[in-house]
Amino acid sequence: MMARRSVLIIAVLLLAVIGLAPMVVMFARSITVDGGLSLEFYRNLMASDRPWRLLGNSLTLASLVALLSTLLGVSLGIVLGKTDIPLRRLFTLLFTLPLLIPSYITALSWADVLGGSGLASHFVSAAWIKTASALLFGLPGCVLVLASTFMPVVMLATMIYLRTINPRLEEAARLVSRPSGVLRAITIPLIRPGIVLAATLVFLLALGDFGVPTFLRVDVFPTESFTQFSAFYNFGAATAAAVPLAILTIAVLGGEQLFLRHRTDELRPASGGDDLPRLRLGRGKPLVVIAVAVLCLVIVVIPLIALLVQSGSAGAYIRALHTVGDSLVRSLVLAAVGATALTILGFFVGYLIHTRALAVWRAVDAWTVLLFALPSTVIGIGLIALWNRPATNLIYATPLMILLGYLAQYTALTSRATVAGLALVPASMEEAAAVTGAGWVRRVILIVVPLVRRTLMGGWLIAYIFCLRDTGITMLVYPPGYDTLPVRILTLMANGAPDLIAAASVLMIVATVVPLAILALILGKQRRSR
Amino acid sequence: MTVIEFNSVSKTYQGKVVLEDFTLVVEAGERVVILGPSGCGKTTVLRLLAGFIAPDSGSVSIAGQLVAAEGKIIQPPERRNLGMVFQDMALWPHLTVEGNLEFGLKAQHVVKSERQRRITGMLALVQMDAYRRARPPELSGGQQQRIALARALILQPRVLLMDEALSSLDEELNQHLRKELLLLHGQLGFTLIYVTHDHVEAHDIGTQIVCMRKGRIERIGTASGVMPRGADTLGADAAK
């Protein structure tokens, strides 16, 4: 018991130092001028109408992205998760792809389609391209890119929550109603809390994104912090600009906790979901397949093809490897180390949440979710506020800052994955080991970890992808000479050759997709051998 | 008059034969109990009848009409005029008691005034008038069972299917609801297909008992003929 308590307390303390302290210090810095309490930074921030306009833009953008993502994501989630549509897994993988890569790369690929000399310019008139380009570089384009990036969150959530429904509930309705009626009146209302939760997450992710709005020239609030910090090095103003976003995120998540948490907790993924009966599309199948394929082509495949076309020749890739090779290696190493650290910390945090072994379990859970939902600029500014001082320069001047950023923002991914895995393991498994006299450490290593091994592997992979695609935190905290590939591409986008940028982006996508494919192969092999 | 006819039906699931050469004829108004141990294929019989799955071979007819045959569902579940009470009740938790009862009536385009009249009548019949606005999770096991029964009967089905529907209740409540079920059967005259592994339940409810084992019918006959009260041999056999 003592060992368990000690390890879990250490995990909580680590999380407090990595995730809580930066936020507290950042807030303190935003209300301090020359060592005294002052609201000067906030007064300056609110002196003009600019922050309000930016906040309005951010809220409009996030709301439209959440709406479009939800409409598309729920529809696709139902078609791919509930019906007998062919090529389900391929479609799911393709639609998920934009979520796996940095969002600004998707924006870049769209620019390669609709830009002045883009892919579409070979097929349509110059006037059409001009109009499309004007739409892309503005709010409509920003909504399109961010919706295609975050739509998979709603789609995957819908697919997962569909698997939580007791099939008998739908069968009971099938006795008196057609499948469409069952879907409308029973299935969708049952998973509605999960859908709303996913839509909330999309809203927050879109609210915090600054790469895409910056590239597509839409003024939003997250850029304010970044600009104040990087352009003017006005740290107080940067922290003050970060606080409204933090408050907004806390308010939205607070609402989620109040109204949805107890309902979504009831929706737990069931094992063996692949065996669930699927709705037959019947005569409408060709039409549905065509609709899904066209959507996939438009929002995923064509932008990728444009990127490949833009990258042009093998020469561009050789130049790209030469130019960004060191960043690529750093990205891979940092993502792998970050994912491993996240898996370890996430396991203990998840174990704490699952077993409720410490009284603070609920606060820890809420805090990790809040950190995940916070805009990355807010976390980055917080980390700088805490660590940028002579006493801690040993940490601040090293890539450890990037790892701390990963741990601060992404622990919820691995802790929630652990909770989901542990929920499927009967408590009696660990109890049986305890009865034999095995200590807690031994039980965890020999019983619990092997039983949730697959979930941990999945968690590691998700963490790896998020670390690899991270731009916001890394952009703010990386020490000189330690930039990662997403940061290097973003820098190149200011003045680099288009084919070089496209080739570097393709390398980034390959680095993301290859581990996914390897893991899919390993898991597939394991499943076949069972 | 024959209401249900299984004609040499077989069903395989994930390489395992769960039903083999199953033939059964049920007359209108009968109370047929399908008795057998877990995994003997009795629930598969109900699911075939409801139209949730299709037979690999053989055919199923309801009221003289072919509803499924040779791997195909010819008539979908909603057009078979069946009611079903599931083992876990399957009450929709997001709807009130009234909503649960109203769902089928709405799907059948019954007008609002008639819907209200039938819901009131059915709730009175199962003595649950006071719980019209309650949600299923607020009800006790016995109350949920009554609502599940009311939901299944409100569309006046020609056949009521019950899948181990009383097995999760304690003995006293089980016995009480068995009596109520027989009373409702007497009043409404539906045909009952009742699946159970409990020989006492089978004896009390069935006018005809079908004993199954390993996907096949082992014995079939009247309750008193196949399984005289007090003689537990069949129950013991079935439980093997």
Considering only the beta carbons, identify the residue of B80, B82, B103 that sits closest to A173: B103
Residues A459 and A421 in one domain: yes
Contact state of A175 with B83 under an 8 Å Cβ cutoff: yes
Query: Residue type for A306, please?
Result: A
Residues A281 and A336 in one domain: no
Residues A215 and A68 in one domain: yes
Considering only the beta carbons, identify the residue of B52, B90, B155 that sits closest to A176: B155
Q: Is residue A402 one of the residues assigned to a domain? A: yes
Residues A244 and A293 in one domain: yes
Q: Is residue A289 one of the residues assigned to a domain? A: yes
Contact state of B90 with A171 under an 8 Å Cβ cutoff: yes
Q: Is the pLDDT of residue A495 over 70?
A: yes
Q: Can you give the pLDDT at residue A373?
A: 83
Tally of residues, chain B: 240
Residue among B44, B48, B84, B147 with most chain A CBs within 10 A, to mutate: B84
Residues A376 and A227 in one domain: no
| CATH (one of 3.40.50.10140, 3.30.1280.10, 3.40.50.300, 3.40.605.10) for B2-81+159-239 | 3.40.50.300
- At A381, the pLDDT band (50, 70, 90 cuts) reads confident
CA B179 to mean position of chain CA atoms: 16
Residues A403 and A434 in one domain: yes
- At A260, the pLDDT band (50, 70, 90 cuts) reads low
Mean pLDDT value of segment A34-54: 82
A226-256: buried (b, 16+ CB within 10 Å) or exposed (e) per residue?
A: bbbbeeeeebbbbbbbbbbbbebbeebbeeb
- Can you spell out the DSSP letters for B206-221? -SEEEEEETTEEEEEE
Q: Can you give the pLDDT at residue A124?
A: 84
Q: Can you give the pLDDT at residue B237?
A: 45
| Sheet hosting strand B72-73, strand order edge to edge | B16-27, B2-13, B57-62, B65-69, B72-73
Residue A270: DSSP 8-state: P
Mean pLDDT score across all residues of chain A: 87
- Higher pLDDT among residues A99 and A273, named by residue: A99
- At A271, the pLDDT band (50, 70, 90 cuts) reads very low
Chain B nearest-CA distance from A191, in A, is 10
Residues A302 and A351 in one domain: no
How many domains are contained in chain A? 2
Query: Residue type for A183, please?
Result: L
The residue segments making up the domain with residue A449 are 1-38+312-530
Query: Tokens 């607070």 map to which residue?
Result: A254
Residues A121 and A267 in one domain: yes
Q: Among the three residues A306, A332, A347, which one is the final residue of a domain in this structure?
A: A306
Cβ atoms A229, A476 nearer than 8 A: yes
Contact state of A176 with B76 under an 8 Å Cβ cutoff: no
Residues A302 and A197 in one domain: yes
CATH for A300: 1.10.3720.10
Residues A9 and A78 in one domain: no
Partners of B94 on chain A (C-beta within 8 Å) are: 189-190, 192
The C-alpha angle with vertex A257 and arms to A239 and A457, in degrees rounded to 5, equals 85
Phi/psi for A341 (5° steps) reads -60, -40
Cβ atoms B239, B197 nearer than 8 A: yes
Q: Is residue A71 one of the residues assigned to a domain? A: yes
Contact state of B90 with A168 under an 8 Å Cβ cutoff: yes
Q: Is residue A161 one of the residues assigned to a domain? A: yes
Contact state of B107 with A178 under an 8 Å Cβ cutoff: yes
Considering only the beta carbons, identify the residue of B52, B76, B108 that sits closest to A171: B52
Residues A326 and A400 in one domain: yes
- Higher pLDDT among residues A259 and A495, named by residue: A495
Contacts of A365 (CB under 8 A, 6+ apart): A349, A353, A415
pLDDT mean for each 10 residues of chain B (240 residues): 94 90 94 92 93 94 94 91 91 93 92 95 91 93 91 92 85 84 90 92 91 92 70 43
Domain boundaries, chain B: 2-81+159-239, 94-156
Q: Can you give the pLDDT at residue A263?
A: 59
- Higher pLDDT among residues A176 and A278, named by residue: A176
Q: Is the pLDDT of residue A237 over 80?
A: no
Q: Can you give the pLDDT at residue A331?
A: 94
Coil/strand/helix, residue B73: strand
Residues A10 and A59 in one domain: no
Q: Is residue A44 one of the residues assigned to a domain? A: no
Which residue of chain A comes nearest to B159, CA vs CA? A175
Contacts of A270 (CB under 8 A, 6+ apart): A163, A164
- At A1, the pLDDT band (50, 70, 90 cuts) reads low
Least confident of A43-52, A183-192, A199-208, A227-236: A227-236
Can you say whether the dihedral through the CA atoms of A208, A211, A212, A214 is positive or negative? positive
pLDDT, tens digit, for every residue of A76-134? 999 999 999 999 989 999 999 998 888 888 898 888 888 777 788 888 888 888 888 88
